[in-house]
């Protein structure tokens, strides 16, 4: 009777030993996976003092020393930096669900209605529902087409205003004119009015000032976010500024909403269905936001969303247009080729329209190459590890902040031959990167980020950048001021959250179309 049970007992025992051993090894391996390498930091402040003014460049240099996955300390926060396409893919594709929240910060708390917006909202049903509201009403193919006339009109007004300055005044700071155009197009879609309106419009002036200041304050790296002991001190005065600005923005939005409720008519030509109108209708109808009855959209949600659009969608767009024109001026052969294509597709009798864009194969390659060398947000927007995980053999502790060095990745010589050379042809059929685009699937080129929290306004941003750049390049010959040679044009970067030109681009514009093309119906 005993004989048959002995081998059974023995084999059960052996299997248990093996299972325990494997589990033990797995746990031990997880426990012992090292933290990513990185430079030693200072007491209390960690690596913050080592970042310098151009953080993206410093982090890129550190990647060359320590490898593509880097660990730093910003005060008491653990920060990891993805510095290669392969590592970025690990974070933003393989582990994307774990990195779908953004780290808490003073901007989200004090300006974005305590994280009630899209950019800073915790990952979850409310965030998803808010994203869907803008996706459906602003960024879907249909919504984009509905708003095409708005973007084209603002581009035409920009050209008209430049020509209207008279031949003596055609030496212009181009970035400013482009910013007026991109901001007005977005503000007409969002709140039905121009932010940069004619002189004397008090409301528009206030709006413009607030938007500009929000963007400035939002770009400051607030030490109090990383060193809790200093938070109460607000050493840079950032939180005080944010609170004041938030009150101004809120008062202004309350005024706009009150006008809407009182049925105040908007200025002629600017009325219409805008995002704010749609959001207020949802508030009025008490429509649920995230599917749950009790989770209704509120006026605060609407205000937070509008704030997001302005802060995330205006300078990001205009800055890249300024870079694209700078590169074209520095490369006269490429500029000539772009203008020849534009003349062939559009002719010289009218301005570029959005329906021309798909046929501008060469120009679209110019835009991709600009995004590669001059991404608007070179470190993307930070994400945070919800749980501890292991990436590329390294342990990433729970709560770590993730920065993706979009700028450095797009200059990796292993991925991009002659990475510093502006060469749009690499994206043309037969080129080394013919099928690569900027929409988040090719991790060597992710100016809009990737994964669940990829830029919500990608479709709008890409169209606006391409339309505005193409319109300017088609409508004008671009010349530098007398005495300045193209090879001396400064390409110096200024970094906050955004990557802008340190020296604004000043250009002589020479109209090159038939006079009738500059008239606006
Ligand atoms: C050239 C233009 C633009 C660039 C380069 C850009 C870039 C980015 C990047 C890198 C992110 C972070 C993505 C991530 O975490 O993976 C982002 C997020 C975002 N962007 Fe853009 N953006 C642009 C234009 C716009 C426009 C036009 C809008 C809206 C009108 C917009 C709205 C947003 C919003 C709402 C988010 C937050 C998404 C979320 O957290 O779910 N962006 N953008």
Pocket perturbation via mutation, ligand 1, pick of 135, 448, 465 by most ligand atoms within 8 A of CB: 448
* Closest by Cα among 415, 511, 454 to 169: 511
Write the ipTM. 0.99
Model confidence at 169: pLDDT above 60? no
Q: Which domains does the chain have, with CATH numbers?
A: 36-518 (1.10.630.10)
Pocket perturbation via mutation, ligand 1, pick of 457, 462, 464, 467 by most ligand atoms within 8 A of CB: 457
119 lines ligand 1 (CB under 6 A): yes
Q: pLDDT tier at 20 (50, 70, 90 boundaries)? A: low
* Closest by Cα among 358, 393, 301 to 35: 393
Reading phi first (left if > 0) and then psi (alpha if -120 to 50, else beta), residue 361 is in alpha
d(CA 457, ligand 1 centre) in Å: 6
The residue to which tokens 């993706």 are assigned: 404
What is the model's pLDDT at position 484? 87
Please identify, by atom number, the ligand 1 atom nearest to the C-alpha of residue 380.
10
Residues 6 or more apart whose CB falls under 8 angstroms from that of 155 comprise 181, 185, 351, 352, 467, 468, 471
Average pLDDT over residues 379-397: 97
Range with the poorest average pLDDT among 25-29, 266-270, 478-482, 512-516 = 266-270
Can you spell out the DSSP letters for 409-438?
HTT-TTTSSSTTS--GGGGSTTSTTTT--S
Model confidence at 59: pLDDT above 90? yes
Pocket perturbation via mutation, ligand 1, pick of 100, 118, 455, 499 by most ligand atoms within 8 A of CB: 455
Ligand 1 atom 31: residue of nearest CA: 457
Q: pLDDT tier at 14 (50, 70, 90 boundaries)? A: low
> Bridge-partner residues for 506, per DSSP?
173
d(CA 312, ligand 1 centre) in Å: 6
457 lines ligand 1 (CB under 6 A): yes
How does pLDDT run across 113-151, given as a tens digit for each residue? 999 999 999 999 989 999 999 999 899 999 999 999 999
Model confidence at 270: pLDDT above 60? no
Average pLDDT over residues 500-516: 93
Q: pLDDT tier at 214 (50, 70, 90 boundaries)? A: confident
d(CA 132, ligand 1 centre) in Å: 14
Average pLDDT over residues 326-335: 98
DSSP category for residue 353: -
d(CA 448, ligand 1 centre) in Å: 6
CB 479 within 8 A of CB 299: no
106 lines ligand 1 (CB under 6 A): no
Q: Is 90 helix (H, G, I), strand (E, B) or coil?
A: helix
d(CA 134, ligand 1 centre) in Å: 12
499 lines ligand 1 (CB under 6 A): no
d(CA 504, CA 492): 10
367 lines ligand 1 (CB under 6 A): no
317 lines ligand 1 (CB under 6 A): yes
Q: Which tokens hold the place of 131?
A: 């994203």
Average pLDDT over residues 308-326: 93
**Strands lying side by side in the sheet with 401-404:** 69-74, 77-82, 401-404, 383-384
Q: pLDDT tier at 28 (50, 70, 90 boundaries)? A: low
d(CA 261, ligand 1 centre) in Å: 31
376 lines ligand 1 (CB under 6 A): yes
CB 322 within 8 A of CB 501: yes
Ligand 1 atom 19: residue of nearest CA: 455
* Closest by Cα among 339, 389, 271, 393 to 510: 339
Model confidence at 464: pLDDT above 90? yes
pTM score of the predicted model: 0.91
* Closest by Cα among 116, 41, 504, 179 to 306: 116
CB 92 within 8 A of CB 86: no
d(CA 69, CA 395): 11
High-pLDDT (> 90) share of the chain, %: 68
Q: pLDDT tier at 283 (50, 70, 90 boundaries)? A: confident
Model confidence at 216: pLDDT above 90? no
132 lines ligand 1 (CB under 6 A): no
Model confidence at 86: pLDDT above 60? yes
312 lines ligand 1 (CB under 6 A): yes
Q: Which tokens hold the place of 221?
A: 């790296």
Q: pLDDT tier at 520 (50, 70, 90 boundaries)? A: confident
- Pairing mode of beta strands 77-82, 401-404: parallel
206-210, 432-436, 504-508 — which one is most confidently predicted on average? 432-436
What is the model's pLDDT at position 103? 96
d(CA 343, ligand 1 centre) in Å: 32
* Closest by Cα among 85, 182, 52 to 415: 85
Average pLDDT over residues 238-251: 94
404 lines ligand 1 (CB under 6 A): no
Model confidence at 244: pLDDT above 60? yes
Q: pLDDT tier at 163 (50, 70, 90 boundaries)? A: confident
Other CB atoms within 10 A of residue 264 CB: 9
d(CA 222, CA 224): 5
Average pLDDT over residues 89-115: 96
Residue 428 or 255, more confident: 428
d(CA 371, CA 424): 11
144 lines ligand 1 (CB under 6 A): no
What is the model's pLDDT at position 296? 81
What is the model's pLDDT at position 1? 39
d(CA 13, CA 7): 10
d(CA 430, CA 427): 8
Ligand 1 atom 26: residue of nearest CA: 313
Q: Which residues are annotated as a binding site for heme?
A: 455
313 lines ligand 1 (CB under 6 A): yes
d(CA 458, ligand 1 centre) in Å: 6
Ligand 1 atom 21: residue of nearest CA: 455
- CB-side exposure of 190: number of CA atoms within 13 Å? 27
CB 278 within 8 A of CB 285: no
Residue 332 or 483, more confident: 332
Model confidence at 389: pLDDT above 90? yes
> Bridge-partner residues for 72, per DSSP?
79
How does pLDDT run across 343-380, given as a tens digit for each residue? 999 999 999 999 999 999 999 999 999 999 999 999 99
Pocket perturbation via mutation, ligand 1, pick of 132, 154, 312 by most ligand atoms within 8 A of CB: 312
Q: Which residues are annotated as a binding site?
A: 455
* Closest by Cα among 128, 127, 77 to 104: 77
CA-to-CA separations, 457 to 4, 105, 136, in angstroms, rounded: 70, 22, 11
The mean pLDDT of the chain is 89
Q: Is 495 helix (H, G, I), strand (E, B) or coil?
A: strand
d(CA 453, ligand 1 centre) in Å: 9
Q: pLDDT tier at 166 (50, 70, 90 boundaries)? A: low
Residue 216 or 111, more confident: 111
């Amino acid at each position: 009777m005993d004989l048959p049970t002995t081998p059974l007992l023995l084999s059960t025992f052996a299997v248990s030993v093996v299972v325990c051993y494997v589990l033990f090894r797995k746990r031990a391996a997880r426990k012992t996976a090292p933290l990513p390498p990185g430079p030693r930091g200072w007491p209390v402040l960690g690596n913050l003092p080592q970042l310098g003014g151009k953080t993206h460049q410093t982090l890129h240099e550190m990647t060359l020393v320590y490898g593509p996955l880097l660990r730093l300390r910003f005060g008491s926060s653990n920060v990891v930096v993805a510095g290669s396409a392969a590592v970025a893919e690990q974070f933003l594709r393989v582990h994307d669900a774990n990195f779908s929240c953004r780290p808490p910060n003073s901007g989200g708390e004090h300006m974005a209605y305590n994280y009630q917006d899209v950019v800073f909202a915790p990952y979850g049903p409310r965030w998803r529902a808010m994203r869907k509201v803008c996706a459906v009403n602003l960024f879907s193919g249909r919504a984009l087409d509905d708003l095409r006339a708005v973007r084209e009109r603002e581009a035409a007004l920009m050209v008209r205003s430049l020509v209207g300055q008279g031949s003596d005044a055609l030496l212009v700071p181009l970035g400013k004119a482009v910013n007026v155009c991109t901001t007005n197009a977005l503000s007409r879609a969002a709140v039905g009015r121009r932010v940069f309106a004619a002189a004397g419009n008090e409301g528009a002036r206030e709006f413009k000032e607030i938007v500009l200041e929000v963007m400035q304050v939002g770009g400051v790296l607030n030490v109090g976010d990383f060193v809790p002991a200093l938070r109460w001190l607000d050493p840079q005065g950032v939180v005080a500024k944010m609170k004041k600005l938030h009150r101004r923005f809120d008062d202004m939005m309350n005024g706009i909403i009150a006008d809407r409720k009182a049925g105040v008519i908007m200025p002629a030509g600017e009325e219409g269905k805008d995002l704010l109108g749609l959001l207020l209708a949802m508030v009025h109808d008490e429509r649920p936001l995230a599917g749950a009855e009790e989770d209704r959209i509120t006026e605060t949600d609407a205000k937070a969303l509008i704030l997001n659009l302005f802060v995330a969608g205006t300078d990001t767009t205009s800055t890249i247009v300024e870079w694209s024109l700078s590169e074209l001026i520095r490369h006269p052969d490429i500029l000539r080729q772009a203008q020849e294509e534009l003349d062939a597709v559009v002719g010289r009798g009218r301005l570029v329209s959005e329906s021309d864009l798909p046929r501008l194969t060469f120009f679209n390659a110019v835009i991709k190459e600009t995004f590669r060398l001059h991404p608007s947000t070179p470190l993307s927007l930070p994400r945070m590890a919800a749980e501890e995980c292991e990436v590329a053999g390294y342990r990433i502790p729970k709560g770590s902040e993730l920065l993706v060095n979009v700028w450095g990745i797009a200059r990796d010589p292993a991925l991009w031959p002659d990475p510093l050379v502006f060469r749009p042809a690499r994206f043309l059929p037969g080129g080394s990167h013919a099928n690569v685009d900027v929409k988040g699937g090719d991790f060597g080129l992710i100016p809009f980020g990737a994964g669940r929290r990829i830029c919500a306004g990608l479709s709008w941003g890409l169209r606006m950048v391409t339309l505005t750049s193409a319109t300017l390049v088609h409508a004008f010959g671009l010349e530098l001021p007398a005495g300045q040679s193209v090879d001396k044009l400064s390409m110096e970067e200024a970094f906050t959250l955004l990557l802008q030109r340190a020296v604004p681009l000043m250009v002589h514009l020479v109209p090159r179309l038939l006079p009738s093309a500059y008239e606006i119906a």
